[in-house]
Structure 1
Amino acid sequence: MTWEIASVVAESVAPILGRKIQTRLTPADIHKAVEQGLKAALMREEPLAPEQRLFYYSAPDAIAFFLEDFFQDREVQEELHKPLQEDNKIPLTPLLVEKFKQVASNYAPTQPQDSFILPWMETFVKTYSEKTSSYLEFQLTKENYFLQISNRVDEVKFAGMLVGTQDGNHAVKLDQIFVMPEVEVLHPPSSQRPVEFWLDHPQIALPSKPWQPLRTQTAQQKTLAQSLLAVKTWQATSTKSRNVMLLGAPGSGKTTLMNYVAVMLAQKQPEAIGLAPDIDWLPILIDIRDWVEYSDISILEYARQFAEKKLLLKSLPKGFFEHWLEDGRTVILLDGLDQVTEPAKGEQVVGQIKDFIQQFPNNWEL
């Protein structure tokens, strides 16, 4: 019940807070910060004796209505804006307590005592301020993360003859030359699925695919890879599945297509690959060929090491990837599964991937 109240109130309040100021935080970040602050304040009271609880005599619906009114107050919103603007200011708890009492006077003739309101408000302010500070740090880190992704994968090098004074080795941006390939959407019978992990998930096969049983696939449909992550691609088999497997011969463009997906997200163009443009997406790059060399680390730890060592990010803040993973706002790019040739190692890798996806459901896996 605590979580439901926090979620309902945050859903109502967060859009208003985000509209009235300029902030790096997304609407989802603000919603999450308000929700976490309310949850902490409400949960603080659960171990207390009933008569010591601030909302002891209130029904859940009444609590939600009251809190919505409280957060609609102009002065309350001005205080809540402070930690959203990167100047390390926190809301004034005494002012919020007074506003709380003013709003409460419209609901009950008897005013709650300060000794009940103050610890509740202190818990909310502390958690809300900590979360907004963390989320601002995440957004700043994300900008650098996107820049490094673009620097690493958004460059295609060509080697050729030296002509005149031009250097035969030069590079261009991937998004300038990328041609969206045509793919087939395949839903194979269970006996012909190449990897057990991908059960009940649609697959995307690139041209020149070597896997012979593909000829007997059912429900084949050719489409541009631009719709790779569009709802229509995966909804045919499951309204909840967001896992897509790319099949194709070596050199058919699987890695290049994944790099293109990463670049489009880093350039904040999710609509180019069929994703909703109003969601704050984060790509996570997993080179399975590299990861299997580190048998003692999780996928999440590998993603962190990849970002810090190969993308040259000095230090990722704690909880960076989890912030997006927990909300289902990541596209996890798993490249090189077909190059794990040892059966035992392959089963181990698939098992770890499956556990990871179950831990963080509702994200896209490609």
Structure 2
Amino acid sequence: MVFGDGPDGGREATFNGLTRYPSEDNPWNGYIVIQAKFRQKPQNSQEDGEWALKQLKSELEDFANPKKRRRQPDYYIFATNVVLTPVQDKGTKDKAYDIFQEFKDSVPLKGYDIWDYDKIRAFLDNFEDIRRANAVFITSGDVLSQIIDFIEPRKELFADQYTNPEDIEVLVQKVRSHFDKTIQNECETLCTFNLLYSPMQGNLSQIYVQTKLNESQQFSSEEFSQERRLWEEVVRKNPKLMVLGKPGAGKTTLLQYIAVHCDEVDFQSKLIPVFISLKTLAENAKSAAEISLIRYIRKKYCRSHVSKQELEVLLDNGRLLFLLDGLDEVTEDKVRDVSKEIHRLVDEYSDNRFIVSCRKEHQAYKFKAFGNFTLCKVADFEQLQIEEFIKNLFTESNDSTQLSKITLASDLIKKLKLPENQRIRELADTPLLLHLICLIFQERGDLPAKKVEIYKEGIDLLLEKWNQFNDRVQVNMAEFRKALRRIAIITFEDSKSSFEEEEILPYIENCSSKLSEIEVLSGLLVKKTWKTYTFSHQTFQEYLMAEELVNSQQGWRKLLIHVTEPRWHEVFIIAVEMLPNTDSFLRLFKQKFNNLINDYNNHWWSDESLNDRVGLENKQNLLSKKDYSDAYLIQKLLIQVHQKICNIKDYYT
């Protein structure tokens, strides 16, 4: 229902019922009010923002006033044509959300949103039909609309204009100019936590240490050369590359860096990089039929700036560099479909370049779809790389003088070389753990001894900084940590890497805090979209989940249920390292192992299974040798387990 001018009760429009907003997976269902505040002559962002805040507060005060007799909404959208500044805590956008918090008791909303100038502009970029329907309200809109109507039926003819190399180069430059903004927003910000509350924004290029790779041997994809090559050399030589590595090795960071610095590689022709999180691709698809990389690129990168036909021309001429991140993070029910989609794309547009990243212990990279990919793994940091990373990281932080930063970096480098810190030095060969080591050392001046202690102390520090820097709301850290553990285990068990704020609100009720503040100040969570969050590193989710399982009464039994599932392997290893005594765990593990053998054996000897494999005529002969076959099967299973251990022992020892 739409309302006109006049005393409309704080409503521009209302909707009552089930919607598809903010997403089909988490729809609003109830009485929704949309209120618009339009400023005819905007002044400047600060003055306009303060004006909008007063308007919002006035409207909520009227809803809270029983004398006004306004029907309170379940959901509320505040729309305005002015710019709300994004500065953390001090910006008018954060202040607007704070106003909603002020009225959370007097106007108890199930959900709310703010559509400011930037958000409305983004909506119009994505919804061409609405943009064009309202083109008449813009002075030049009529002309532009007519041009679009003229061009639309002739788009197919445009491909004919790209018949020589010069035309293709012009198209590449045009598309790069549109794609680069998305690439910068997606990749230039280092995907990590804050270092002692120093924001890590836009500093990937400053902190990044050049990655080295070990290529697979010519005659064995499972054996890797001892020679370490710079990523640029390996990427240039291999048009289809699978980058493997252990957790925190820097696989995502490498793909982000390649996306931003693609021009540094001496390819035969200029390429257009597209960075795609495969877990996001899979999460946005409700079924296998909806998993489409091209459709995803058109929506995320092209929008209305690059036509379908122009994208097709670039694909046909092999001018795209696909950077497909996190195959191992795709849920088990979709990973095969995602792999098939990559295979289809490689098969159809084989002249383009493809780089896929995956954890080495995950088996998805062995799918047939990647049979023609060259395997390589991210090499551990060498001493010079460790030192460079430490210097870059401390120099980039802004919490002390330049001299003290240099001294601090030098002290940590010396400390890591001491014999008593040999174990912690060995853990510093991955960027994630080295980053946590820097964080702990800068705060405490000392080093932990075990990997699991690095995670624990690093998370402890990130949470401690909350109360140190948040002068508005102090958080109960014990309750907050408990909430994070519950969020980690619930999302992980549901095979979800992200979650809506409403889903986990019950778990943070005792924390006296908004999820957006938790994201900004702890760095453990990051915001993906409006009201949608994810753990900043999958390792944090795995650690917190392991911590929850170890501290719960039935946690080990739950963990052992999933012991054969690749996605749970890292959780399993972290949990074992937390144990002060492994006796009871080993007894449970032995029991689980015996059950696996019995289940395997019972299935192998079942009538149906035997009939399928050997036929009725040979069944009696096999049954007469069952005692021998039992021993054979157990031996075979143990051999398989041994092979699995051999594949992972280099990482876990």
Shorter-chain TM-score: what band? 0.3 to 0.5
| Greater C-alpha Rg | 2
User: Greater relative contact order (Cα 8 A, min sep 6): structure 1 or 2?
Assistant: 1
Output the TM-score relative to the length of structure 1: 0.46
More helix by share: 2
Output the TM-score relative to the length of structure 2: 0.27
